[in-house]
Amino acid sequence: MSPNTIRKGLVELAGRDADPEAEVTSRLRKPGGGRKPLTETDPQLSEELDRLVAPLTRGDPESPLRWTCKSTSHLAQALSEQGHPVSARAVAQLLNEAGYSLQGNRKTLEGTEHPDRNAQFEHINAQVKRFQRRGQPVISVDTKKKELVGPYKNNGREWQRKGEPERVDVHDFPDPELGKVIPYGVFDMSRNEGWVSVGIDHDTAQFAVQAVGRWWRKMGAKRYPHADALLITADGGGSNGSRCRLWKVALQALSLRLGLPIQVCHFPPGTSKWNKIEHRMFCHITQNWRGRPLVSHEVIVNLIAGTTTQAGLKIRAELDRGQYPTGIKITDAELASLNLKLDKFHGDWNYTVLPTRNKS
């Protein structure tokens, strides 16, 4: 602001203080003074901006929110080259007035829907409620994203002294000794409790079933001393996929060891984000260790085990140093020897592993 303007303002304020009821007859700026809006001095500006943005506009056409993948500086440059000199800040203001906003990507597209998608959701819901009414254990299982171990950048921010951020490596090259960890989670939907086996080898079906067995030994058996069955809800792919033969073989071994029938319900293809463990446990783990380098196995286990919520979530975690080789093939004869009871509705997604050997 100009010093002259400030002096004139002080004089006006002094006059008001001397006679508060006196009508102010003078103005610092004449009516209609000041810089005109760009849309008034350049009536074609908004139209030209919309023409530049339209082919690159994204979003639901029925929604009032729209966004563009071109930066404001590039749009300002393009407009200036067309004879409409404008700054990037002015472009941002015009976009905001036109209903645009800065937005990130949202994972909502699930691909082609299976015709029995909703029917499978209803089936899973009915089975979960049936087990919970009987006081039987119901767990949701999945593998969390693999994480590098070492002084690497971890997304998010945490409070630090000003000018003293946590220093991490510039490049995310895996440490040959520490490598990566594979957190496999088991979430008890009835008790809001979880177990995470932090693997250091491979994400295989044997590793997944071993994690379920550890949960039962460390937590499940104490919580459900009178259990006569176990229900597992799992994704349709990955180490616990519906078409993974090794998953079924490992479950058969676990069923025999526990003496419990294990019922499995898989989510339809492309709907893994509906799995309860994703938004009831994994998201809170990610929030808890945001901005913290996962420098060691001990740190990772402690951060996972230290995750809590106001809703009472409790998690136990343990490092699994076991070796789980890949490339194990299950023959047709081995698969036929399993004692599987397929459901009438989508036996490929819904089945029970019985704790006895198949006599046939």
Our measurement of the distance from residue 18's CA atom to the centroid of its chain's CA atoms, rounded to an integer in Å, reads: 63
pLDDT class for 110, splitting at 50, 70, 90?
low
Distance CA 82, CA 78 (A): 6
In the prediction, which pLDDT does 62 show?
Answer: 38
Distance CA 42, CA 80 (A): 12
User: Does pLDDT of 351 surpass 80?
Assistant: yes
pLDDT tens per residue, range 246-269: 999 999 999 999 999 999 999 998
In the prediction, which pLDDT does 240 show?
Answer: 96
pLDDT tens per residue, range 28-79: 566 666 778 888 888 888 888 877 776 544 444 433 344 455 678 888 888 8
Mean pLDDT of the chain: 86
C-beta separation of 185 from 195 below 8 A: yes
Burial of 330 (C-beta count, 10 Å sphere; 0-12/13-18/19+): middle
Which amino acid, one-letter code, is at 351?
Y
In the prediction, which pLDDT does 66 show?
Answer: 43
Mean pLDDT of 280-298: 91
Q: Residue 56 carries which DSSP code?
A: G
User: Does pLDDT of 298 surpass 60?
Assistant: yes
Which domains does the chain show, CATH number per domain? 37-105 (no CATH), 117-157+168-353 (3.30.420.10)
